[in-house]
Chain A
């Protein structure tokens, strides 16, 4: 297992499509922000200091320091990767888009099953991120907590009794914890109920935003719900709050699906089979159109109208059709038209192997 493997394959642990409530919740993610005592925050430190931090983390995750992770990891210097390879890490959500903006003096530690990544010198010195399929925020917190303990054996964290873990931006100070779930909410969108729900959710200290697409437009009906407050609540309180609200959203989406299926079955079937038809035969497809069609296909499986493809195949399709993945596959730079053609080709190829009922 090497970097090449991580970049070459589309699958990560979170894409397995398993886990509780996997008919609505695609994945759960949790990150902890930590900084090392005695150094300025990354945006304000010298190259030399940045290198110290990288070396300190490299040591902390190595077996030499006695680090015993529950998963096997690999340390990757971002400078060793090409721009396309770095972009793939973003498309797989292993690093943030900000992390690869200036790859100098930055690194990432990635677990072999990709359930864990540690960004070094992003907005904070250390960002531990755990990523699991389905609704597993508590499990993600348990994993992150363990990793945090392992790192703390070697590293002196910036911590103050009153303010907790000190972070570069005051929006993360305290627990440094941001937990989020990726939800597929086609029926709440279709019935225009989501807007009202978003208002209520934001009153509970949580934020909702579209996963793909800008502003209020969310392609593929994929949404992310995350906590906003990181201080004054314990980690368990934050996690439980998000879990409770997510369960409510899940049950709303499910009951809406039942109603829509009962009253508008022909309309739904049409939408789902059309998506399948377009994906099976289209010759050119934009990223936006692909996400929309993949979402409709998923809806078909969620409603039981389609028996296949499995959730993991659908999740894989989402990642396979992102731009950097396509460029990697082509092995050369592609212009927009070539990208859209290759995307359509890959989708056709994947779907040709699937017989639907």
Chain B
């Protein structure tokens, strides 16, 4: 690598604009300017130095803040498009998505669907944009942070005249620097927490250099955050399951490979009651009608003992009882179970009586467990009932035959065979809610509906997310970085004796107003002029 040796003796990397050590202007172009560009201390950035190979070109492209800002703006506009209509995950699953968009929003909705905006945030081009942003963050940061670090580390106390006079804040005084004046200035600077360095009677006061690293720290945080987001796609890092659980039911928690079981003891659904709840809520409750107060599953958590033996009932050991509510998930071993949905009063048992149609005499009870019906019920004395078919969610299918839509007992129906002393061959009866058919001809007996039991069902989301801590770490680092960069400023003050004059200059990376006020304080009654804003001077003229 070619290096540039400054007149002061310091060896700078190729591409350096201001000597890292003394600040002398090394580039001819820069010499014409009235003020030096201090943004990266005139250090040698790769992107400004090389532009030959394809790698250089890619590097230069992504290291440009202009490109970065464009990426941010494009991402911003793209994101807003996704909020015009709801995303697919938020539409009711009543019909195919394309149909829904067209029906609800007309041709615009159709276009929205056709362009893929209904799943915008997981589209390849959106993810590509985020990836480009990430690459840009890394490259732009590396391009700057390394040379900036070098320059700030190598800086010397006595800066070259050409450097000082091209600072935005600069002044000269035709005064002799008395020890008293120096002492006062130094004391004031120390009071303002500047760190002082002296060389040949020149002074460099500096504070809050660490704030210069703020942007790089925050970008690092963002990168970690994005990596965390990507890890979700690695198998095993992320579990997203749903567990429907009826009252009284115990099931293995999905995703835990049968290690944990959950029992639903009770599901509670409460609404605000205008008589019982706080009076202040009355008006709002009257207006809204019902306002839900609580969704809660009283659950018991179990752990399985021993190995899994297929077909054998697992041996469970109770771990604890816990109420799962919205905002209060149950946590176990990296898993969290959230209250997300419910169903009230699902039918669980149906009771019938076998009845002689003529006399009305009844013979015994048949209580059918709708989740797991027994097939034979012996009522004694020659009375018997058999379940020939069971349709938990009954409908007539396309061929007009009885069928079931699902295994959930939303609309149970049965075909019973009734055996009585009169009819030892059995009579067939079809029983559904408010229906009683006799498909094979007139019967002597019927199954009379005798009651129903219901249960509430809860739905819990089972979630494991091993990416969370990485994402959290990224967020934390980002916050540290922005605060570091935003709430502190890197300030420097130079003081040099040149011939019979005293030169002062100062620099801050932001908040010039604050610097000016500080300098006024520091130099007040020292006989030396505080550095003055050359930019503001220019404007006034």
Binding partners A and B? no
